[in-house]
Amino acid sequence: MSSDDERDEKELSLTSPEVVTKYKSAAEIVNKALQVVLAECKPKAKIVDICEKGDSFIKEQTASMYKNSKKKIERGVAFPTCISVNNTVGHFSPLASDESVLEDGDMVKIDMGCHIDGFIALVGHTHVLQEGPLSGRKADVIAAANTAADVALRLVRPGKKNTDVTEAIQKVAAAYDCKIVEGVLSHQLKQHVIDGNKVVLSVSSPETTVDEVEFEENEVYAIDIVASTGDGKPKLLDEKQTTIYKKDESVNYQLKMKASRFIISEIKQNFPRMPFTARSLEEKRARLGLVECVNHGHLQPYPVLYEKPGSCRFGFLPGDFVAQIKFTVLLMPNGSDRITSHTLQELPKKTIEDPEIKGWLALGIKKKKGGGKKKKAQKAGEKGEASTEAEPMDASSNAQE
């Protein structure tokens, strides 16, 4: 590697204070955007309106940043706001014509992202539209996802491997009689890259495998934990619900339809590297052109998948509930820095008895500076046990650990 290449790599990694600042600025905006979206999640609110408000907030907040920079700095939405309800696994960000609304008691999963100069912060959160503490299977599945996220935060660290995380989060979910949903991937993040080559599988299977890799200092990851009260094997019910896509820069196939060529030109200009929603395109042309773009690999779709719905056939049977916790973590020299999160609703207390899970939860996040180690370890162990309730794990609490 040449000295120029080494310098370029350093300037784009967490060894550069400017890069850390951009990640944290993006995180601050997306954390605030999540609060804005949560405030809009009320019974009878239209889902598409909420998604639009989330995206608009991020665009407005990022628009004023680096305005006077000598070089052009891209910034804005890194992943469109999604509102996925109950048994919907994710990626539901409907078109403007969609009339779907939220209802009282819905389990709402919010998924969104922001970037500044291509440095990405992603967050996912689950909230139930009800007053008071949660109970029953809704509480179980949120606690499963949250505790699995707490464990993942402690295992995504230099020297550990992606397979360690995959095995651990499944064991945590089983402690709540839940399953980790198959097909969900957690990716390393790099500048302008939301799906880096280092990957953590949610569930390993013969059909889905990734290379075993080791986490390293100065890397950034978006850890996506999705848990279900069902079998964790979601299905695609309606391809027309897919509205989120990402341009594949490596594909150069010459499209045949005029509508397709128009759409791909618009995408190259406005969304060259980040996922986008078809809502951002001219709807009539998008309907005609997107199919050919997907069929020939120009666009990678993010499908809307479902676990089992409720049934009224033999008296009402509740469907499966799906919960998501997604966070962005910087693997800094002094330890892990979780930069995106939101406090959970109140959950019933559940003590995890499994010694291996308790051991994972007792692991520190920040490196110790020496002195008071025994007391700190004891405190970390107590916190690990408490985290099976509803540990918010926000960025500020991480900094104090």
DSSP code string of 91-114: -----TT---B--TT-EEEEEEEE
Q: Give per-residue pLDDT as tens, 62-107.
A: 998 888 887 889 999 999 999 999 999 999 999 999 999 999 999 9
Claim: this prediction has a pTM higher than 0.95:
no
Same fold, 3-238+311-400 and 243-302: no
Give pLDDT, residue 4. 47
Confidence of residue 228 (pLDDT cuts 50, 70, 90): very high
pLDDT more than 90, % of the chain: 73
Q: Give per-residue pLDDT as tens, 5-47.
A: 554 555 688 999 999 999 999 999 999 999 999 999 999 999 9
What is the DSSP secondary structure assignment for residue 86, as one 8-state letter?
T
What architecture (CATH level 2) is domain 243-302? Orthogonal Bundle (1.10)
Alpha-helix runs per DSSP H in 119-224: 136-155, 162-175
Confidence of residue 315 (pLDDT cuts 50, 70, 90): very low
- pLDDT: which is higher, 205 or 2: 205
Mean pLDDT lowest among 33-47, 200-214, 328-342 = 200-214
Confidence of residue 351 (pLDDT cuts 50, 70, 90): confident
Coil, strand or helix: which one is 267? helix
Q: Give per-residue pLDDT as tens, 354-386.
A: 999 999 999 999 877 654 444 444 544 444 444
Who contacts 346 (Cβ-Cβ below 8 Å, separation ≥6)? Answer: 132, 133, 134, 390
Q: For helices 136-155 and 162-175, what crossing angle results, to 10°? A: 160
Which pair of tokens denotes residue 248?
Answer: 């594949």
Angstrom CA distances, 230 to 295, 299, 321, stand at: 31, 30, 7
Mean pLDDT lowest among 146-155, 220-229, 233-242, 390-399 = 390-399
What is the CATH code of the structural domain delimited by 3-238+311-400?
Answer: 3.90.230.10
Q: Give per-residue pLDDT as tens, 244-267.
A: 999 998 888 889 999 899 999 999
Give pLDDT, residue 240. 87
Domain locations in the chain as residue ranges: 3-238+311-400, 243-302
Give pLDDT, residue 370. 57
pLDDT more than 70, % of the chain: 87
Q: Give the closest residue to 140 by CA, choosing from 318, 275, 362.
A: 318
Give pLDDT, residue 394. 40
CA pair distance 221, 127, nearest whole angstrom: 23
Give pLDDT, residue 145. 98
Give pLDDT, residue 366. 85
Confidence of residue 392 (pLDDT cuts 50, 70, 90): very low
Q: Element (H or E) spanning 37, and its range?
A: helix 17-40
Q: Element (H or E) spanning 85, and its range?
A: strand 75-85
Asked if residues 262 and 307 have their Cβ atoms less than 8 Å apart, the reply is: no
Q: Give per-residue pLDDT as tens, 179-192.
A: 999 999 999 999 99
Cβ atoms within 10 Å of 245's Cβ, excluding its own: 23
